[in-house]
Each structure stands twice: as structure tokens, then as C-alpha cells.
Chain A
Amino acid sequence: MTRRRIGLEELEDLAIGAAVLGTGGGGDPYVGKLWARQRILDRGPVELLDVDEVADDALVVAAAMMGAPSVIVEKIPGGSELLAAFRAVEQACGARADAVMCIEAGGINSTIPFAVAADLGLPVVDGDGMGRAFPEVQMVSFAAHGLPATPMAVADELGNVTLLRSVSAEWAERLGRALVVAEGGASVIAQYPVRGRDLKLAAIRGTLTLALQIGADLRRAGRQSRRAIEDLTSRLGGALLFHGKIVDLRRETASGFVRGAVDIGGLDRWAGSSCQVTFQNENLVAIVDGTVLASVPDLITLLEEESAHPVTTERLRFGMRVFVLALPCAPLWREPRGLAKAGPRCFGLDLDYVPFERRLARP
């Protein structure tokens, strides 16, 4: 097996691929990428470790930011707070971490683990807890497998470190969110300390390699964006749901969520059709001519036609030409225990989940 190292070029790929897995949300990976780049410039590339390479009794801890991406683009981390959070969780576990884990391969949290991994000289595990972006702490494969989110440490740039031991992942979300707000809207967290054997059981595997591959393909696409997007879609078992131009856009904010919908008027083989994608930070449902074609937890991503780059909900705008893609979520999310954590009803939708492949196969 060839060991993969994540250096500066790979970070660029990762940032693009992670935005695809971010399904419109998850925060722009840009700041995380620059942070990781600084650390890699100082300390050298970070090793990417296959889940199977992790020893059964090794300790793996997830690193992430929690809060508003629009805060982190202003109040950029100091750099040492993630280390402090990590140390707090290690202390609570009574052991040093052997590897760093990414909890959310979609969005800004894809790149942040590499910053702390470079500092600690630890590898990053090739996998995550979502295989995409989700908004809350309990929407994680480890939680769906009954593994605890805590001990979890929330830390800020001033040096405040809070260690949480919660009765459930839902409580870790609730308490963590309150701390994040008190600390100015964005903090870093170390959470879900797991042993290698549990990692092998519960991690969604290969998602960082997947993001790297997607990013590399799209970065190389250049003017052949459509070809690249079609190739990518078929290779990943996804589907091109729609191609068109944004004709209407509604966004509103409510209790920390940006809710809304974007209407897309069809082009070429979709001429005369219309597509609506609804979102709550992340894209939730794609409807074409009144028929639901895909829904959360499957991935719905909008790619800008010109650049083949993914578009977050905050950057949607009138007149933009986009491709709407559906990619299959990790199999776990299609099981009852996965749907209980992150199915359509967890997002307040009155909709039963049907995999998009089945929806598309219907006459």
C-alpha cells in the first residue's frame, strides 16, 4: 500500500473536493486550508493513514471547528487552541492520541485536522464521521454506532478550554453550541475519542481520498467542466440531476440556520423543466418538475458551470449556471439507525427517505 502524504498541492485538491462533499454547507474550506498550509510549511507534509492501518488499541481523536463559518473568516484561530483541546481530551482519556481524525469531510472541517496533525506530528486517518457535511454533533457515524462524542473539549483562542462529559451526543451538541456562542460564535473542538477497533467499525472510510480525487479532477477540468462533472458523477455512482440557470433565490435566517430554496430553469436536455433545491445551511432536497429526485442524507451539490467548482448556499446568485449533482451518502445513513440521526425528518421535513437511485429509476 502506498502511503499518501498531504502536502501543499494535495491541500488545494482537498479544499475543492471537501466543498463538493459539503453539499452547499459546511463552511468554505479556505481558512482551514491556509491554516493547515502554514503548519505544513513549518512542519512538513502530513501522512494519511488507512483505517485498517490503525492498531486496535490506538487512540484516535477528531478535530474540528464548531460555530459559524462567517465568524471564522473574521476571527481566524490563534493556532494553539486546537492543541489545547486535544491535550484536554487526551488527559481525560488517560492516553496520548496516535492519530487525528476528521469528523466532517465536507467543508472547512476537512482541512482543519491537518493543521493540528502537522503540529503534533501525527497522521490523519483517511475517513470521517459523516462522509459529507451535517450541522450537528450527533449526526455522526460514531454516534449512530452508539459511541460517545465525549470527553469533548471546546477551546478558544484566549486559552479557555472546557471539557464536556455528556449523557448523549445530542447533549454534547446542546452544551457545545452554548459554549461556542459564549466564546464569540466560533471555537475549535476535539471530540469522539475512539479506539482503533471502534474506528474500524464506525468510521466512514476513504472519504479524504475521495475528496482529494474529486478536487484533483475538478481542478484539472478547466474548460472541459461538463465532461469532468459527468465522468466524476458516473465514477462515484452519482447522477446529474439537472443543468440550468438560477432564476429565483429565497434565503432567510432563523435560529442560526439559513433556510431557503433556489429555483433553476433548465438548459439543454432540461429545457422547459425547472428544478428546486431547498436548503438549511446544507442542501436538503432536489425537486425537478414537482417530483423529489434526491433528499438528505444523500448528497446534493451545485457546481458552477464555468469553473466546475462547488457553490455554497451563501454564494448562490441569480443568473449563475449550475449543474445539480446527487451523490450517494454512506450506506450507514440509509439504515434505520442512520436515518434516525440524519434522515429527512431530523431536518423537519415531512418526507420519507428513498435513495435517489431508486427515485430516478421510477418510470
Chain B
Amino acid sequence: MSLRIGVDVGGTNTDAVLVDASDRVLARAKVPTSPDVVSGVRAALARILTPPPREPVTAAMLGTTQCTNAVVQRRGLRRVAIVRLGAPATAAVPPLADWPPDLRSVVAGPVTLVAGGHDYMGHELAPLDEAGVRRAAAEAAERDLPLAIVGVFSAVNPEHERRAAEICAGVAGPEHPVSISSEIGSVGLLERENATVLNAALTDVAGAATRSFEEAVKAACGAEACYFTQNDGTLMALAYARRYPSLMLASGPANSMRGAAFLSGVAEALVVDVGGTTTDIGVLVDGFPREAPFVVEVAGVRTNFRMPDVVSLPLGGGTVVRRKGGSVALGPDSVGSRLLGEGLAFGGRRTTFTDVVLALGRAELDVPVRRPRIPPEVAEAAYRLATELLDRGVDRMRPSSEPLPVIGVGGGSVLLPSCLGGNLEVVRPADFAVANAIGAAISEVSGSVDRIVALGSRSTEEVREEVRREAFAQAVAAGADAGAVRIVLWEEIPVAYLPGNAMRLRARAAGPLARGR
């Protein structure tokens, strides 16, 4: 029997769990996130590994907000050399044209536009200008800049991007960081380019994060295999995470949703994750987070990453309640992690959402607190505002009017009412407070395909089968157990104004880690 560790580094807390081969939770810990991240991870690991377990720990999975914070705070980002394959097309809009100027000034390096790329059928627009790629690679090597390569319609045909990456490796060395867009974003050149450039800019952040996690895990329990969780709630190996840090920009919400699915045993549900400052509402489809459509903004940059579809509400356990004139106002500011010192129930002087719920006797905490004294009309009014906000969020996210369960997770979910969105029952599974770490621990491995296909003379069924097979093969190549891989996402989106019945097909296959991986 072997054990696994799941860790989730959030803005406020670092959570960790230890699970056995049958996914039973053996130990859990919640510690404050440290400024350097890694000491908080070490502390959480120490807690769950005391006393030392009798079986060996074979794998550790980490979800972390480090990459997101780096982009938002513009910290630790590398300047990036950008190579676009598509000339003479695409020159009308240069790379990073629509970025916030402060972020652009940190990240923008030399831009090279060379001939290459494909049309929507996957035919070559022009032969790849290999000499041009070589020159760009030489400059990037000389100035030690990570490379971001993006080709027109690489989602349909990635051949030129792959060849360009080979050339860059040849010129700058196999260790030189190269990000290619077909492995990162989907259709939409500018959004995919933005995603690829962010990915390259995160090279150092990802290097430090993976290195420190690996060291912390080795020191704590000697586990050999480390994984990072990505935006779609599945795993990537350390080497992959180093190359594709952008794929973990939204791993936090993905982990808590996967954890909620696992803990509740429900595959179709709404997940409401209540933290100290915000509440995230997402949707589980087939046990995985529903994906956001099309464009997702990351720190002011339009991207087309695969991201969970989450609505974030300004409501958490620390949200401040005020009397304004004759009415009551709720947030949006929060005392956040200072709740334990500043909230009324904890002897402080600020009235928070937690205090309101306690005053109304609608929840009990597992720590001894005094029942806050708040005028009942104020408490009722604040509670009504919170419920309205939650109801609207739930209503916005629920896929249909059909009833489905609402799973409450996160430390603040004890504050949720028993019913949301009119008629949906809120269930709070055991270990709800560390659902995100559990989500990391039970993560699976996946393979994804996202491309535009022009059916032409082929039948839809033929194309579907091809895409299905490719997603399966990718999942197995990434380490999934071939016998247990299944399709977890399937989307067909018609493409407008294009003859030949083109459609965009997206598929994802996932399965548990194969034994011995």
C-alpha cells in the first residue's frame, strides 16, 4: 500500500492532506500561507506526516497560486523573445498590442515575424522561414531570453511551431526555455500568443516553485514523484510544469471543485467555495470543472487558456458589515486572515459576515467563540444581502432549472444557508475545509485536443473518432492508466461564415495515474 500527499497553496492558507491508496484521508492540516510559500508548505507537510505514516509516500501533488500572484504583481517575470510564424499575414496587429503598459514593459522583448503558419484547413500558408527562426533564436540565446513561438492556425496544424522549436533548441541549446502556442492555448492568435508569452515569462517562477516543492517533499517524506495540478483539474509532471507554468494559473478553483466531487460522490453539481474574502462558484460536469468559454482575462491580458468557469463573489467569512445611514452594507472589503483577531466573535471590534451568522445562531464553529451581539435587524439585513448575492451567483452558474446539489467547501462554507438558488440543497461533505488539497491528491492525468476541422469529404463520425483516439493517446502518454481512460469533455462548436462545414472540436480524456508512475 502506498500513500499520496495533496497540497494546495492559496492566498490565505496552505492546506495539506495525506491519503491512502483507496483515497481515504488519513491526515489533514491547514496553516497560513507564508510569504516565501515553501516554509508554509514545509509546515503543512510536517503536520500531516506527524507521526510518520507506516507506509511509504509515493507521490505528492501541489496546486499553487504562485504563478497567478507573479503575473498580478508583475514579480519575477522574465522578458520574452517572441517569434510569430505567419508573415506576411498578422503584421497588422503586433504582439502584446493590447497588454496593460506596465506588464508589457516588464515582459516585452524582441519580436520577430517570419513566414510560415497554416490556413484553417491546415495547409501551409508559406514555407517556414527557418533562417529567420534561427536568427531570432540566436538573439534570444545571446540575451538569455525565453522564447515564445506562435504560428497562425497552429491549433489546426502545429507542424511549423514544432519545427521552429527544434531549430531554437538547436541554436540556443536543449535547456533553453521555449514555449509553443499549440500546447498552451486554443483558437484565436492574439489570445493564444498572450498565453504563450505569459507562459514564457513565468519560466523562473515555475523553476523556483517546482524546485522548492520537490525539495520540501523529498526532505519531508522522500516521495520520488511530484506533480502539479493544472487548470482543468488534472496533473502534470514536474518537468512538464516547469515548461507550462501558465497551465496552473487557475488550479486552485479546479482543485476545490475536484475535491468537492470526490468528497460528495456527486459528478454533476454546483460547488460553492467560501474563503475569507471571496466565494467562488463553479460547476461540475462529469466530475470535472466546467470550462470558461473563449476569452479569459488574466491580470488584464486576454488569453484563451483552458480555465474553470468560476464566478467570484465579494463575500467571505471576513467580509465587513457596516451600517450606512438607515441601511446595512456588506463588504466588499474583508478582514481576510485577520478574522481571528478582528472579528467580534474572536474578541475584535469589526463586525464580519461570520459574526452575523453566529449572532443569528445559523451556524456553529468548531472553535470556542463568544456569540456576537449585533442588533437583530442589522444581522437579518446583512444576512439577507449575503443570501441574495449567493442566490444570484448560483442562479447565474446553474446549467438549467433542473435541481442539482450544491456542495459547500472551504473553511467558510459553514456560513452557507441550507438552501440556495430557491430550491437547491446545500451539502457539506466531511473534510470540506481541505477539499482543495484533497482535489490535488486525487487528481488524474489527461490529454486534450482542441482544433478546427473542415469536414470536407470526411464524415463527422470519422473526425470524431480521430479526435477521440488522439485525446486517449495523449492521456496515456502523460501517464494515465490506459485501461481506465475515458472522455471527460466533448464540445463541438460550429464555425460561422465558413463554407465546407467547419467546426471546432474540443475533447479531453482523463484517467488515474498508472501504477508505478
Bound pair (A, B): yes
Name the contact of A315 in the complex, choosing from B119, B188, B293, B494 (C-beta under 8 A): B293
New A-B contacts (7) at CB < 8 Å, excluding given A34-B93, A181-B499: A27-B497, A68-B495, A75-B153, A76-B189, A159-B88, A184-B119, A315-B293
Pick the residue among B88, B92, B498 that contacts A115 (CB under 8 A).
Answer: B92
Contacts of B126 in A (CB 8 A): 158
Interface residues of A in 308-358 (CB under 8 A from B): 313-315, 317-321
A254 in contact with B501 given A68-B495, A78-B88, A78-B91 (CB within 8 Å): yes
Please list 24 pairs of residues, one from A and one from B, whose beta carbons are closer than 8 Å in the complex, sorted by A's number. A37-B97, A38-B93, A38-B94, A68-B502, A70-B497, A71-B498, A74-B120, A75-B90, A75-B119, A75-B153, A76-B89, A76-B92, A115-B92, A157-B89, A157-B91, A181-B499, A185-B498, A256-B499, A258-B496, A265-B401, A319-B395, A319-B398, A319-B399, A321-B396
Check A256–B498 contact: CB distance below 8 A: yes
Q: Would you call A318 and B399 a contact (CB within 8 A)?
A: yes
Most buried by A among B92, B294, B397, B401: B92
Please judge, given known A-B contacts A177-B499, A253-B501, A257-B496, whether A77 and B401 are in contact too, CB under 8 Å.
Answer: no
**Nearest residue, chain B, Cβ from A252:** B494
- B497 close to A184 (CB less than 8 A): no
Known: A73-B187, A247-B400, A319-B397. A35 touches B494 (CB 8 A): no
Q: Produce 1/0 per residue, B477-515, CB < 8 A to A.
A: 000000000000000011111111111100000000000
Residues in chain A near residue B502, CB distance under 8 A: 68, 70, 253
A149-191: CB near B (< 8 Å → 1, else 0) gives: 0000000011100000000000000000100010011000000
- Cβ-based interface call for A46 (8 A): no
* B357 on interface, CB distance cutoff 8 Å: no
The answer to whether A69 has its CB under 8 Å from any CB of chain B is yes
> Within the assembled complex, what's the spacing in Å between the Cα atoms of A321 and B391?
14
Contacts of A258 in B (CB 8 A): 494-496
Main secondary structure of the interface of B (DSSP, over half): loop
B125 part of interface (Cβ distance < 8 Å): yes
- Contact (Cβ within 8 A) B396 A318: no
A184 and B120 contact, CB distance less than 8 A: yes
Report the bound CA distance from A28 to B400 in whole Å. 27
Tell me the nearest residue of chain B to A248, going by C-beta.
B400
Q: A301 interface residue, CB < 8 Å from B?
A: no
**Which B residues are CB-close (under 8 A) to A135?**
497
The residues of B that contact A248 with a CB separation of less than 8 Å are 400
A residues with CB within 8 A of B: 25, 27, 31, 34-35, 37-38, 67-71, 73-80, 115, 135, 157-159, 177, 181, 184-185, 245, 247-248, 251-258, 265, 281, 313-315, 317-321
Query: For B91, B401, B503, which residue has the most chain A Cβ atoms within 10 angstroms?
Result: B91
* B86 within 8 A of partner (CB): yes
- Name which residue of chain A comes closest to B92, CB basis: A79
Residues in A with CB closer than 8 Å to B401 are 247, 265
Known: A77-B89, A157-B88. A313 touches B497 (CB 8 A): no
- Contacts known (A74-B153, A184-B125, A185-B120); A68 close to B496, Cβ less than 8 A: yes
Identify which of B94, B155, B493, B498 contacts A68 (C-beta below 8 A).
B498
| Contact across chains for A317 and B496 when beta carbons are under 8 A apart | no
In the complex, residue of chain A having the shortest beta-carbon distance to the beta carbon of B94: A38
Q: Is the Cβ of B90 less than 8 Å from the Cβ of A78?
A: yes
Tell yes or no: B152 within 8 A of A by CB. Answer: yes
Minimum CB–CB distance from A67 to chain B (whole Å) comes to 6
Option from A31, A70, A313 in Cβ contact (under 8 Å) with B452: A70
| CA gap between A315 and B126 in the complex, in Å | 32
Q: Which residues of chain A have C-beta atoms less than 8 A from B500's C-beta?
A: 181, 256
* Interface residue? B190 (CB, 8 A): yes
Nearest opposing residue in chain B for A159, CB measure: B88
Given contacts A245-B395, A253-B502, A319-B397, contact A76 B494 (CB under 8 A): no
Residue of B nearest to A267 (CB): B395
Chain B residues with Cβ below 8 Å from A75 are: 86, 89-90, 117, 119-120, 125, 152-153, 189
Over the window 93-105 of chain B, the binary record of Cβ atoms lying under 8 Å from chain A Cβ atoms (1 yes, 0 no) is 1100110000000
Inter-chain contact A69/B496, CB cutoff 8 Å? yes
Q: Which of B94, B188, B501 touches A74 (beta carbons < 8 Å)?
A: B188
Known contacts A38-B93, A78-B92; A319/B494 CB under 8 A:
no
Q: How far is the CB of A315 from chain B (nearest CB, A)?
A: 6
A255 pairs with B501, CB closer than 8 A: yes
Contact with A along B164-191 (1 / 0, CB 8 A): 0000000000000000000000011110
Chain A residues, Cβ within 8 Å of B187 = 70, 73-74
- Which 7 pairs between the two chains have the least Cβ-Cβ distance? A253-B494, A79-B92, A184-B119, A68-B498, A157-B89, A78-B88, A68-B497
